[in-house]
Amino acid sequence: MRSHLLKVCIVSFLVICVNSCSDLDDNEEIGTVNIENLIEKESELFGLIARVADTDSDAEITCIKFIYSFTMLEFNSNVEVVAQHVVSSDAQFSTILENIAAGNSIGINFPIQSTLENGDEFLIQDKDELKQAIDDCIELQQTTIAGNCRQLLQECVWIVSHDDPTVDTYENAVFDIAEDGTFNFYNNGELFEGTRIVYFIEDELHINIAFEAASATADDWNFDWKTEILSDNMMQLTNIDDVVITLTKECEEENYCTELIFVECEDIDGSETSEFIFEEYIPCIIEIKDLDELTANDTIAFYETEIDANSQTNPLPLNSYQNIASVQTIYVRIDYDMSTDFILIPIEIQAVSC
């Protein structure tokens, strides 16, 4: 039975309406509705059926569908028919189920029988098998959603933004997540390593984030995060403290920054020299160091030594520089017009074989 449910199941409810009856044994039937199979409003199965019908809910069960129209009987606590509902759509069914009185039940005619796409017979004999079918469907659906989430996370990188505009601690930080669940997290030029696990808690998708080393950053991120996939390019995380983080997928390297290490291909293989265009690195330097945007009255310059940077001598050209070592430190000096102090930032440039 479980293997059959790996297909999309189409469930058609065929309910026969009859006159009301009472004082029946548990194995007796009302028409063809066995009272053993009545589904109480307060039961877990009733709630699952409501989720199948509620197509507007985030908790909708999508791998089982109702085929309309059908007629359903409503019974009171004395097992008397109190209403006959003709159901013609998900929206109407959802409303009917919502309005079933507390203590009342609905009756479904069993068996439910169909043929799957592979030709196998699909048969549900009673309400217990119906609940198992829906449970299996939910498990399949959750496995699919969790798998899609894991796949999404390892596509490209994910850029952090804060739901609260007054907070920018991790604004533009970058998650680079590998297929095995490990990740590199870059914030203000610092690299942090950790792991992630994707799973469901009841009906909620969650991502558990664990940074390996103890740090203030780890304290902020080492939580179980309720996860909502907003689109293929965006997801929202919420932790137990109601901190909300948005992750946005970014696949173009020029649109995000990780570390103050800038790598260019060698001009000639084995030469260990490359052309570096410093002006292209300025946006990343400003973003990673979380500095104010430069104005026309501010200055930025690049130097080969810290002494030159302090004395503002021998500035390097912004539009073309050839390195003097395969791995080299360059000193960036920023002078803001409204400040008497300057900012000195070391960066690393590397010439590599491509």
140 contacts 5 by C-beta, under 8 angstroms? yes
Model confidence band, residue 296 (pLDDT cutoffs 50, 70, 90):
very high
**What domains lie within the chain, and their CATH numbers?**
4-150 (no CATH), 156-254 (2.40.128.270), 260-352 (2.60.40)
Please state whether 103 falls in left (phi above 0), alpha (psi between -120 and 50) or beta: left
Whole-model pTM over 0.85? no
pLDDT at 162: 85
Task: Dump pLDDT digits (tens) for 169-184.
Answer: 899 999 999 989 999 9
Model confidence band, residue 336 (pLDDT cutoffs 50, 70, 90):
very high
CB-based contacts of 84, cutoff 8 Å, min separation 6: 17, 71, 72, 73, 74
CA 312 vs CA 303, 329, 342: distances in Å: 8, 17, 11
Task: Dump pLDDT digits (tens) for 232-283.
Answer: 899 999 999 999 999 999 999 888 999 999 999 999 988 999 999 999 999 9
Q: What is the mean pLDDT of residues 89-101?
A: 88
Q: How far apart are the C-alpha atoms of 87 and 70, rounded to whole Å?
A: 5
15 contacts 107 by C-beta, under 8 angstroms? yes
In the predicted structure, residue 126 carries a pLDDT above the cut 90:
no
Model confidence band, residue 68 (pLDDT cutoffs 50, 70, 90):
confident
Q: In this structure, are strands 33-34 and 204-211 parallel, antiparallel, or unpaired?
A: unpaired
Please state whether 79 falls in left (phi above 0), alpha (psi between -120 and 50) or beta: left
> 351, exposed or middle or buried, with CB in 10 Å at 0-12, 13-18, 19+?
buried
